Amino acid sequence: MSSNCVIERIQPEHYIDIQELYSNEKVRTYLGGVPQESYIETSFRGMLEAPFPNIYFYISLKTTGEFIGLVSIDEYHDQEMYELSYQFLPQYWGRGLAFEVLTQVIEEGLNYLNISSIVAETQTANRASCRLLEKLGMNKVQVLERFGQEQAVYELRKTGDVTRQIIAISSGGFSQQTPSFIDDYILRQINTNERIKICFIPTASNDAQGYIDKFYSAFTHCEATHILQEDMRDINIREKLLAQDIIYVGGGNTKFLLEKWHAYHFDELLKEAYKSGVILAGNSAGAMCWFDICFSENKNNDYEEYNGLGILSGTVCPHYDDQERSKLFDNWVENYSTVQAYTLYDTETLHFNNEKLVAKIQSY
């Protein structure tokens, strides 16, 4: 169930809100513009009378009852496929509500319809929508022209028994302790009789050699490897990532890390590895990077916000023991009342399964 929103079937009394949605120029920017009122009336009547399996959801805020958007699952262009569609009012963009609602609708829709996949189509020019679909775990499977515009088709398939895991560490691990409780905890998540394959990504430290040496010293009992920035251009890098059991991201400068990953499109490979079941772990910068928003130091040691990979909703503040950091973080996060904000003391670690928090661990 959605924690912030009410998801209900469309009803006749919802027409005024739907009319407002369809008449909003920002909403309709990539949807062919604002239609005539007769089209809106016909479309709304079609929603009310739509036969199974087509279903239309009216979305509102749980706390205030305010209407925020429309989501639907219906048959896809006369094919034996089902399409996810959505429109949200602009004042609710960027708050994580669309991701929350669509996650719930997809999960229940796949089970309700007893289908193995669902598609979504958006203009390639609508980068925000493309990022949202990618964050939902959908993969781009086709680019085509429709309605005079280039469209990207995304698909999400049921993942079966694959469990997606992220372990976000505030501090500690092999860089500070050997043996390390939290590193042992990470390794215990892998059930295999073979040597565990673990790969270190030291980008945030600008590939510091001393940091890499500590990694190899700590994981001598594993099949250990690492990836430098220069390796990210290698044509075999995708194959190397997908072969791992664990990807371990080191600490350092979070903004530098994200900029380098984005430049090499390495962030997309990490997301693909995550979806395939490779465990993502990391401390400090290697904990923050997986979230929607990061708040951390730049190269001038001033704090600022920037986008993370968006695999996990919200934001996290490691090293919350530090009084200056915690004060600045608390002041900053007041501007994001609907964003899930996690705080971690240096003895604490978060463990997520399938993007849901399952444990908060005391490391030492």
- Name all contacts of 320-326 with Cβ < 8 Å and 24+ positions apart: 320/170, 320/344, 320/345, 320/346, 321/345, 321/346
**Distance separating alpha carbons of residues 37 and 27, to the nearest angstrom:** 16
Is 319 designated active site?
yes
Q: Assign 3-class secondary structure to 37-53.
A: HHHHHHHHHHHHHCCCC
Among 14, 129, 296, 319, the one annotated catalytic: 319
Residue owning tokens 């693909």: 272
The CA radius of gyration of the chain, in Å to the nearest whole number, is: 22
Strands 55-61, 67-75: pairing is antiparallel
Among 170, 171, 175, 284, the one annotated catalytic: 284
Calculate the alpha carbon distances from 63 to 48, 227, 280 in Å: 26, 46, 34
**Distance separating alpha carbons of residues 216 and 225, to the nearest angstrom:** 8
How many beta carbons lie within 10 A of that of residue 112, not counting itself?
12
What phi and psi, each to the nearest 5 degrees, are found at residue 166?
-130, 130
What pairs with residue 339 in β-bridges? Answer: none
Is 284 designated active site?
yes
- Is-contact 343 317, C-beta < 8 A? yes
How many beta carbons lie within 10 A of that of residue 109, not counting itself?
20
Residues involved in catalysis: 284, 319
